[in-house]
A and B are shown apart, each in its own frame.
Chain A
């Protein structure tokens, strides 16, 4: 029973991955929108883009980690 609950929790935690996907899409989409308006400024901001994506993605990875912990460590 307890294990089944853990599996349900893992599934719920995986929702966070979808949320992180929305976040990453937001970052990349807004970057693209800005880059198309002012292409000359885009090249200098790719590093910022990747940092933003990394921060957004890290939280998704945290939820993935929680899911894994519930699956294997509980």
Chain B
């Protein structure tokens, strides 16, 4: 988006790394009500379409010997299933569809955001904070429903000396409530930082001498962003599993 402005401007470099994150109504107008279809809506819908294409259309033949799309779907299923089973334990399997939803949404939102001129929904704190708060609320509710007041044992480190325990309890409590903050800012920050850096390099391309370096740097950053897009989805999912394990087995 920043590159659009360069042709017109002759003097000085133009950097608008944040313009790509602007939310615009799809059908004109300036007012964004809570129901207005915006580019957020469009790219979330595309993510839904991608998920359906992979997980439903791709597996429609139910082949014992899978086609390419079906084996990718099965790979994603096996990947998340094994993660839930290994990290959160066998009794967390009933949360598997929920975790799978988070993973598929984030992974597709991240990858769709890497398409040039697209909009990255996961770069917005509004989106990731909701995702992280959903996880936080789920974990807290599950923890109290499963263990009752025993869930508070998570904050009472029984292996520490008695005098230290209240202090540790306060630290644990703070770290527990910081979880959704770091959980959400990690995802949005990584995605936003990568995209912004690519735009900054694109801004340097306005100088003819620097432009080859700029193109090489954009290519390298793009490769890194492909990696980050997957790893951040993986990290978000695995942290959800870790938090869920705390809720199901709070013994510290």
| A touches B (Cβ under 8 A) | yes
**Residues in chain A within 8 A of chain B (CB atoms):** 47, 50-51, 53-55, 57-58, 61-62, 64-65, 72
**Contact assessment for A57 and B87 in the assembled complex, using a CB-CB cutoff below 8 Å:** no
**Contact assessment for A65 and B189 in the assembled complex, using a CB-CB cutoff below 8 Å:** yes
Contact of A72 among B18, B193, B234 (CB under 8 A): B18
Give the chain B neighbours of A65 by CB distance below 8 A: 185, 189
Determine the main DSSP class of B at the interface with A: helix
Give the chain A neighbours of B235 by CB distance below 8 A: 50-51, 53-54
Give the chain B neighbours of A61 by CB distance below 8 A: 185-186, 189-190, 193
Contact of A58 among B83, B87, B186, B234 (CB under 8 A): B186
Q: How far is the CB of A31 from chain B (nearest CB, A)?
A: 14
Given A54-B235, A54-B239, does the pair A47, B186 have CB atoms closer than 8 Å?
A: no
Contact of B87 among A47, A54, A62 (CB under 8 A): A47
Assembled-state Cα–Cα distance A65/B193 (Å)? 9
Assembled-state Cα–Cα distance A55/B242 (Å)? 13
**Contact assessment for B189 and A64 in the assembled complex, using a CB-CB cutoff below 8 Å:** yes
**Residues in chain B within 8 A of chain A (CB atoms):** 18, 83, 86-87, 182, 185-186, 189-190, 193, 231, 234-235, 238-239, 242
Given A58-B182, A65-B185, does the pair A51, B238 have CB atoms closer than 8 Å?
A: yes
Assembled-state Cα–Cα distance A31/B86 (Å)? 20
Tell me how many residue pairs across A and B have CB atoms closer than 8 Å: 37
Give the chain A neighbours of B189 by CB distance below 8 A: 58, 61-62, 64-65
Assembled-state Cα–Cα distance A50/B83 (Å)? 13
**Contact assessment for B193 and A64 in the assembled complex, using a CB-CB cutoff below 8 Å:** yes
Q: How far is the CB of B172 from chain A (nearest CB, A)?
A: 16
Give the chain A neighbours of B182 by CB distance below 8 A: 55, 58, 62
Name 4 extra pairs, CB < 8 A, besides A61-B189, A64-B189.
A47-B83, A50-B235, A51-B239, A61-B190
Assembled-state Cα–Cα distance A58/B190 (Å)? 8
Assembled-state Cα–Cα distance A2/B182 (Å)? 29
The 8 closest A-B pairs by CB, nearest first: A61-B189, A54-B235, A58-B186, A58-B182, A64-B193, A65-B189, A50-B235, A47-B238
Assembled-state Cα–Cα distance A64/B87 (Å)? 30
Give the chain A neighbours of B185 by CB distance below 8 A: 58, 61-62, 65
**Contact assessment for A57 and B186 in the assembled complex, using a CB-CB cutoff below 8 Å:** yes
